[in-house]
Amino acid sequence: MDEMMDGLYQKTEELIGAAEKAVEEKDTKALIGRGHDIKGMTSNFGLTALAELGARLERQAKENFSVDTLGDIVRKMRPIYYDTRSIVDKWMKLN
C-alpha cells in the first residue's frame, strides 16, 4: 500500500508542477490536459477536493476562462494536496 501511495503522491506533485508551469506559459491546452489528469487520478483514490479542482480546471480551460482565473485554481491545488496528504498519511498509520 505504501508503494502505491508513494506513486500517487509523486505523480500528483508532477501534475501540479506541470499545471503551474502551464499557467506561467499561458498554455490553456496543457491546463486542460493537466486538469483532466489530476481529476482522473485523484478521483480514483477518493481525493475528492483535488478531483473537483482538476475537473474545474479542465472545464474552465475548455470554456476559455482567462489564464488568471485558471491560475487561481492551480494555486489552490498544492495547499489542498498537502492537507489531503497529511490526512491520508495519518489515517494510514492508524490502520
| CA angle, residues 11, 30, 76, in degrees to nearest 5 | 60
- Cell 490502520 locates to 95
Q: Give CATH superfamily name and number for 2-94.
A: HPT domain (1.20.120.160)
> pTM for the full model?
0.93
The answer on pLDDT for 2 being more than 90 is no
User: Which residue in 61, 83, 62, 82 sits closest to 72, CA to CA?
Assistant: 61
Contact 68, 60 (CB under 8 A): no
Q: Where are the chain's structural domains?
A: 2-94
Nearest to 71, CA basis, from 13, 14, 30: 30
**Rounded average pLDDT over 25-29:** 98
Give the mean pLDDT of the chain. 96
Average pLDDT over residues 41-57: 96
Euclidean distance between CA atoms 17 and 2, whole angstroms: 22
